[in-house]
């Protein structure tokens, strides 16, 4: 068997604008284009595999096809588009709202080849008002979508599964994913920024699925704020699928993500004044409009008996943008010295860091690496912060 390698993968990155300037993800930065994502992954972030989840858009498909024709990229026989030093996995994000979903649910689907993604895009166009945009509502039953993804040899993954809005366990299912989906046609579950492995494994029906930790990036700097290390022979679609199934040593080695307390929806919070709420109305302003936090929602769904599930470690990581007194100019100096964020976050020594930044900032980067920082918990749409 060929040698296995470890790859950094962030599999939920949006495109803000196409090459012609057309909007794709309206809420994403205009600078978030296919070309800049590829460049940032290689030169700034140190990401080996990027999941772009707006590849159903016809102009993006055309741009990828042109890159292959012009010799800028090639398509792996085992799936995935290879650019110099980075692989793109072809994904799409879809919004489901059928009669069983009890609310909006976002899901991800990945396909091995441009041909398969093009076929799925055409299928979507008959069930979607505007396939040129990201995360659009599909007028089809969830299980039918799952069946179509499987028919086209794709992977089906509920996205940011616990966030209060547009997710499976947020305002989606009441108790079980079987209310909406065929559990046999789910390949993995994406956790989202306000939860981690330990929290998610409170739900017994999730024990069978691998967990993914992705950034859901709406800007270039948000790339790789969450990611995973995946052990595979090659950075291809088929190898990724085998890693999810843990075939012959292929596996997710570790998940890296925010401490859930830093997430925007970890704690139950008043929607009006952002005061933390334990139950009932807000004790500060009296408002009854409360955004239930992921931690509270998971307590409602938690199983009575928790099994000891064998999982890769979930390593709490503080993105560099959360480090106090580490501004844009200082970050660029660090990147000039260490090349990628992965080198800074994982490998740079204190002595090396202090060549560029103050002793206090260097100490904070190392404390974040060790999980030794104090966090003010986030909620109600506001990120937590390091205090």
* Burial degree of 276 (CB within 10 A; 0-12, 13-18, 19+): middle
What is d(CA 221, CA 381) in angstroms, rounded to the nearest whole number?
A: 19
| Contact partners, residue 212, CB within 8 Å, separation at least 6 | 11, 12, 157, 188, 189, 190, 191, 228, 252, 255
Full 3-state SS string of the chain: CCCCEEEEEEEEECCCECCCCCECCCCCCCCCCHHHHHHHHHHHHCCCEEEECECCCHHHHHHHHHHHHCCCCEECCCCCEEECCEEEEEEEEEEECCCCCCCCEEEEEEECCHHHHHHHHHHHHCCCCCCCCCCEEECCCHHHHHHHHHHCCCEEEECCCCCCCCCCCCCCCCCCHHHCCCHHHCCCEECCCCCCHHHHCCCHHHCCCCEECCCCECCHHHCCCCEEEEEECCCCHHHHHHHHHCCCCCEEEEEEECCHHHCCCCECEECCCCCECCCCCCCCCCCCCEECCHHHHHHHHCCCCCCCCCCCCEEECCCHHHCCCCCHHHHHHHHHHHCCHHHHHHCCCHHHHHCCCCHHHHHHHHHHHHCCCCEECCECCECCEEC
Q: In the listed set 207, 241, 258, which residue is the last one of a domain according to the structure?
A: 258
198, 309 contact by CB (below 8 A)? no
184 occurs within a structural domain: yes
Tell me how far the alpha carbon of residue 282 is from its chain's centroid: 31
The residue ranges of the chain whose pLDDT is under 70 are 1, 304-307
Residue 276 has a pLDDT of 83
312 occurs within a structural domain: no
Q: In the listed set 242, 258, 274, which residue is the last one of a domain according to the structure?
A: 258
Same domain, yes or no, for 127 and 191? Answer: yes
**CATH number of the domain bearing residue 236:** 3.20.20.140
Same domain, yes or no, for 204 and 284? Answer: no
Same domain, yes or no, for 217 and 265? Answer: no
Same domain, yes or no, for 38 and 183? Answer: yes
Residue 319 has a pLDDT of 82
What is d(CA 191, CA 385) in angstroms, rounded to the nearest whole number?
A: 20
295 occurs within a structural domain: no
Question: Which of 141, 135, 63, 54 shows the shortest CA–CA distance to 98?
Answer: 141
47 occurs within a structural domain: yes
176 occurs within a structural domain: yes
Q: How wide is the angle at C-alpha 29 spanned by C-alphas 27 and 35, nearest 5°?
A: 130
194, 163 contact by CB (below 8 A)? yes
Same domain, yes or no, for 57 and 118? Answer: yes
Same domain, yes or no, for 328 and 231? Answer: no
Same domain, yes or no, for 29 and 163? Answer: yes
284-321 pLDDT per residue, tens = 887 888 888 888 888 888 886 666 788 999 998 888 88
Residue 305 has a pLDDT of 64
Same domain, yes or no, for 16 and 74? Answer: yes
Half-sphere exposure of 185 (CA within 13 A, CB side): 20
Residue ranges making up the domain that contains 37:
5-258
Same domain, yes or no, for 127 and 197? Answer: yes
Same domain, yes or no, for 215 and 269? Answer: no
Q: pTM for the whole thing?
A: 0.93
Same domain, yes or no, for 338 and 239? Answer: no
Residue 247 has a pLDDT of 97
Long-range pairs of 366-372 with CB within 8 A, sequence gap ≥ 24? 368/317, 368/318, 368/322, 368/323, 369/317, 369/318, 369/345, 371/259, 371/316
95-124 pLDDT per residue, tens = 999 888 778 999 999 999 999 999 999 999
313 occurs within a structural domain: no
305 occurs within a structural domain: no
Same domain, yes or no, for 156 and 200? Answer: yes
What is d(CA 263, CA 265) in angstroms, rounded to the nearest whole number?
A: 6
Please give the tally of structural domains in the chain: 2
Residue 367 has a pLDDT of 86
Q: In the listed set 213, 241, 258, which residue is the last one of a domain according to the structure?
A: 258
**CATH number of the domain bearing residue 277:** 1.10.150
**b/e per residue 355-386 (b: at least 16 CB within 10 A):** ebbeeebbebbeebbeeebebebbbbeebbeb
343 occurs within a structural domain: yes
């Amino acid at each position: 068997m060929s040698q296995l390698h470890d790859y950094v993968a962030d599999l939920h990155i949006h495109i803000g604008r196409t090459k012609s300037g057309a909007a794709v993800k309206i809420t994403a930065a205009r600078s978030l284009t296919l070309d800049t994502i590829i460049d940032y992954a290689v030169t700034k972030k140190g990401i080996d595999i990027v999941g772009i989840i707006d590849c159903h858009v016809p102009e993006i498909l055309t741009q990828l096809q042109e890159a292959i024709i012009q010799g800028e990229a090639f398509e792996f026989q085992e799936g995935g588009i290879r650019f110099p030093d980075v692989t793109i996995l072809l994904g799409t994000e879809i919004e489901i709202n059928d009669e069983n979903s009890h609310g909006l649910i976002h899901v991800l689907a990945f396909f091995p080849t441009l041909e398969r993604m093009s076929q799925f895009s055409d299928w979507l166009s008959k069930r979607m008002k505007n396939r040129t945009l990201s995360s659009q509502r599909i007028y089809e039953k969830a299980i039918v979508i799952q069946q179509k993804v499987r028919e086209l040899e794709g992977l089906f993954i509920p996205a940011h599964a616990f966030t209060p809005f547009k997710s499976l366990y947020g305002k989606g299912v009441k108790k079980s994913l079987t209310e909406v989906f065929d559990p046999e046609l789910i390949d993995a579950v994406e956790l989202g920024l306000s939860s981690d492995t330990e929290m998610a494994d409170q739900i017994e029906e999730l024990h069978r699925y691998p967990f993914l930790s992705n950034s859901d990036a709406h800007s270039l700097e948000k790339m790789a704020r969450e990611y995973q290390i995946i052990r595979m022979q090659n950075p291809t679609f088929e190898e990724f699928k085998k890693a999810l199934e843990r075939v012959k040593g292929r596996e997710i080695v570790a998940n890296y993500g925010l401490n859930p307390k830093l997430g925007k929806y970890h704690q139950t919070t008043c929607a009006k004044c952002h005061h933390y709420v334990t139950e009932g109305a807000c004790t500060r302003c009296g408002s009854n409009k409360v955004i239930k936090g992921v931690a509270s929602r998971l307590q409602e769904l938690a199983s009575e008996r928790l099994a000891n599930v064998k999982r890769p470690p979930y390593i709490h990581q503080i993105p560099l943008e959360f480090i106090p007194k580490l501004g844009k100019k200082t970050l660029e100096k660090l990147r000039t010295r260490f090349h990628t964020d992965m080198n800074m976050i994982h490998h740079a020594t204190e002595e090396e860091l202090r060549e560029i930044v103050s002793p206090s900032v260097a100490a904070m980067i190392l404390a974040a690496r060790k999980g030794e920082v104090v966090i003010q918990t986030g909620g109600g749409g506001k990120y937590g912060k390091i205090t």
